[in-house]
Amino acid sequence: MPLFDGLTLGELVLLIGGALFFVALLAVFLRKSFTNKSVKGLLAFFAVPIVMMGFPTISSFKISQEGVEIDNQTTALQNNPNDEASRKALETNVVELKKRSFSNPQTLAKLARAEYALGQEQEAKNDVAQALKSDPSLQPAVELKTKIELADKISALNAAAESPAATPEVKQQLGTAVAQASQYKFANPKALQSLQKATKILKPEQVAQAPKN
């Protein structure tokens, strides 16, 4: 991710101010050095811009680590959707990360993936759309978009299949969608309910014989 993506306005001000202060001190330091004037009084001042630039740099590193942690927690939750402790931990970290603003598509895709796993569907759709707008070929975002659309399709087909006017074609489409969904791991509560409902509607052989993409 870009080095300073996600930093707050205050952190960016500190970073830029520190850099400008450092350049100004360096210019004075060099001028005094070339004119054989004492520079001892300037040395202590260099600590100020270093601290000013160091704080946002540490924050940037922390944000990067949080992104990796959220990605790992999302994978763990998808592997065990019933683990409420994992779900709560992921939710807490997502809340913290969402306090910042991001433009990097990879970070947005990680955040969207976590949001969808938690059931925050609209937020996930917004973030994955923004990620794909920046990078249409970003694989994690493309995969998540496909996954979300597939879950929505299954939900709609469930309703159609339960209708008195349901046709065999509807159930066939549902079987195909369920087979496609088997290629993914879901932690989203609504998607899991839709999949469970679909398996009850379909006969076992319909799900098993549905073609996979």
pLDDT confidence of residue 133: 95
How far apart (Å, rounded) are the C-alpha atoms in residues 83 and 17?
A: 45
130 touches 108 (CB < 8 A): yes
Q: Lowest-pLDDT range, 56-70, 110-124, 141-155?
A: 56-70
Query: What would the two tokens of residue 34 be?
Result: 């070339």
pTM: 0.71
Domain range annotation of the chain = 1-72, 148-209
pLDDT confidence of residue 37: 79
How far apart (Å, rounded) are the C-alpha atoms in residues 149 and 204?
A: 23
13-16 contacts: CB < 8 A, separation 24 or more? Answer: 14/52, 14/53, 14/55, 14/56, 15/52, 15/53, 15/56, 15/57
Cβ-based neighbour number of residue 46 at 10 Å: 14
Calculate what percentage of the chain has a pLDDT beyond 70. Answer: 83
pLDDT confidence of residue 28: 81
Q: Say how far residue 81 (Cα) sits from the centre of its chain.
A: 18
Q: Lowest-pLDDT range, 66-75, 79-88, 110-119?
A: 66-75
Local confidence band at 60 (pLDDT 50, 70, 90 cut-offs):
low
Calculate what percentage of the chain has a pLDDT beyond 90. Answer: 52
pLDDT confidence of residue 1: 44
